[in-house]
Structure 1
Amino acid sequence: MKGLLIAIQFLTRLPTPRLAAVSSAEFAASMRWFPAVGLLVGVIVAAAAWGGGRLDGWSGALLALLLWVGVTGALHLDGLGDIADARGAAHKDRDRMIAVLSDPHVGSFAVVAIVLQLVAKLVLLHALIEAQAFLAIALVPFAARTGPLVWSRWLPDLHTGLGSRFRGAVRIGDLLLWGVLLAAASCWSPALLATPLFLLVWGWWLRCAIGGVSGDGHGAGIEVTESLSLFAALLWLQVA
């Protein structure tokens, strides 16, 4: 249970009981609980979408998006922006790309990527609210947070940093457990069956374009997977 609390503290701004000193091993092991935290975030976002949607679809979408960003503290949006800036600098050389990833300043590529991501989520949330697909909304953050478990096992570390601390913490049993739960969740939202494809494509892109995974790569991947999963849910509703 301590691992879950650590994961909640790391991935969200939700209040939790105060914990004693957390070791590096305990922090790394908390990654096993990331999908569970995603479900918690999803329930909050879906509840906001439902509540705001009682006024109109755009109000629900805006309230859901504001809570989505607020509950997570824009943690993953920061990673998306850093990856966008780093990729924009990659035409120079690898050292420059790594330096940009470590730079706390925000560049034009980051601003564009973050704005587009927020607009995409707002539009997709509105469409799903209009379709009354609140369960699909709730399950999207859960599905996206299975990604770091896969990427940390599959991809090499880009550099020594926050992301590298998760190396070796995820066991095969963890992947199997969350994989089974993801498959079970697809009974309520069949579009979740596309999640493994999204995770593989993002991991492949990170390996080819960036060279490995870091904390920023995990965060950006979660954001990208969330948007793709929202779109997949909407697409499923249109063709089902």
Structure 2
Amino acid sequence: MMRALLVAIGFLTRLPVPASVFDDARAQSRSLAWYPLVGAIVGGLLCLLAWPLQHAPPLLSAVLLLVAWVCLTGALHLDGLADSADAWIGGLGDRERTLTIMKDPRSGPAGVVALVLVLLLKFAALASLPAPAWIALLLAPLLARAALTLAFLSTPYARSGGIGRALVDAPRAAAIVALLAGAAACALADWRGALALAVAALIFLLWRQACLRRLQGMTGDTCGALAEITEAGVLVALALSY
């Protein structure tokens, strides 16, 4: 159990974990159930940073929080967002062409624009939220990682290989319990928690439908894009709620 949590932490963040945990195939598969908790850990660390920044100028505080957010996660999902944007535009509706472009490590104009727009949305939302914005900082990363767990439970994997292949056969019961726990956390955050959950669910349904239509499934890159879009959507919705 602990090894699976360490795998999830090591994969989704830049927090140090023993390298040996990644040699355990069973732990890699079981790590999916821990994704929402890792999102909560990311959110908790952001809240720790937000505490001393609550009296700083809002724009400066938002920039520092966003930089910390990106550094903490290693820009893992931002890379998936850029690859997905390039592939969606350049793929011209063709499945194989879209998958091929996703493999290209270079970022094209569409990928760069997607990164800039999502980061701008996050920055603007963070700057607009009343400090220290505990609910937004906790729920945005939690729901984004919960969306990844749900994606692997409910959506076919579009590639024969890839870093996400080990998660396809993850134990379902533990993952479902983790998703229910994430939903319960939203319920504890008054009506704004329900709003965040609703926005995350809507984004998930729309993106899953788009992936099924184009790819007949999802990939690691589309999951990265899902996480980034979910975080941005939840932050924007919560900022607009005040």
- Partner amino acid, structure 1, of 2:187: S
Per the TM alignment, residue 100 of structure 1 is displaced from its structure 2 partner at its CA by 0.6
CA contact (8 A) 2:88 2:98 kept: yes
One-letter amino acid of the structure 2 residue matched with residue 134 of structure 1: W
Alignment RMSD (CA, Å): 1.9
> After the TM superposition, which residues 164-183 of structure 1 pair with which residues of structure 2 at under 5 Å, given as runs?
164-183=165-184
Q: Which runs of 5+ in 1 are unaligned?
A: none
Counterpart secondary structure, 2:197: helix
Cα gap change, 1:15 to 1:180, in 2 (>3 Å): closer
Q: Classify 1:131/1:52 alpha carbon distance in 2 versus 1 (closer, same or farther; 3 Å).
A: closer
CA contact (8 A) 2:34 2:175 kept: no
Q: CA 1:66/1:38 → structure 2, altered by over 3 Å: closer, same or farther?
A: same
1:218 to 220, 223, 226: 223
TM-score of the superposed pair, with normalisation by structure 1:
0.90
1:181 and 1:165 mapped to 2: Cα distance?
23
Aligned ranges for residues 55-204 of structure 1 at < 5 Å? Answer: 55-91=56-92, 93-128=94-129, 130=130, 132-160=132-160, 161-188=162-189, 189-194=193-198, 195-204=200-209
Offset at residue 44 of structure 1 (A): 1.7
Q: CA deviation at 1:207?
A: 1.2
Question: In the superposition, relative to structure 1, how do residues 202 and 92 fare at CA in structure 2: closer, same or farther (>3 Å)?
Answer: closer
TM-score of the pair, normalised by structure 2: 0.90
Provide the C-alpha distance between the structure 1 equivalents of 2:21 and 2:51, rounded to a whole number of angstroms. 37
Count of equivalent residues = 236
Q: Percent identity?
A: 36
Distance 1:170 1:79 in 2: 25
Measured in 1, the distance between the counterparts of 2:89 and 2:223 equals 18
- Return closer, same or farther for 1:9/1:20 CA change in 2, 3 Å cut-off: closer
Give the Cα separation in 2 of the matches to 1:92 and 1:123.
32
Question: Counterpart of 1:227 in structure 2: which amino acid?
Answer: A
2:239 corresponds to: 234
Q: Secondary structure at the match of 1:88?
A: helix
Rounded to whole Å, the distance in 1 between the matches of 2:22 and 2:152 is 24
Tell me which amino acid in the other structure corresponds to 1:145.
R
Query: Take 1:111 and 1:153, find their aligned partners in 2: how far apart are those partners?
Result: 30
1:30-45 to 2 correspondence within 5 Å?
30-45=31-46
1:20–1:121 CA distance, 2 compared to 1 (3 A) = closer
Task: Name 1:205's counterpart in structure 2.
Answer: 210
Bigger drift between 178-187 and 195-204 goes to 178-187
Q: Deviations over 1:37-63 (max 9, x none)?
A: 111111122332333332111111011
CA–CA separation in structure 2 for the residues paired with 1:43 and 1:131: 15
Tell me: CA distance 1:210–1:49, structure 2 relative to 1, closer, same or farther (3 Å).
farther
- Residues 46 and 135 in structure 1, CA contact (< 8 A), matched pair in contact too: no
The ranges of structure 1 where at least 4 consecutive aligned residues each deviate by more than 4 angstroms after the TM superposition are: none
Distance between the aligned counterparts of 2:79 and 2:132, measured in 1?
A: 30
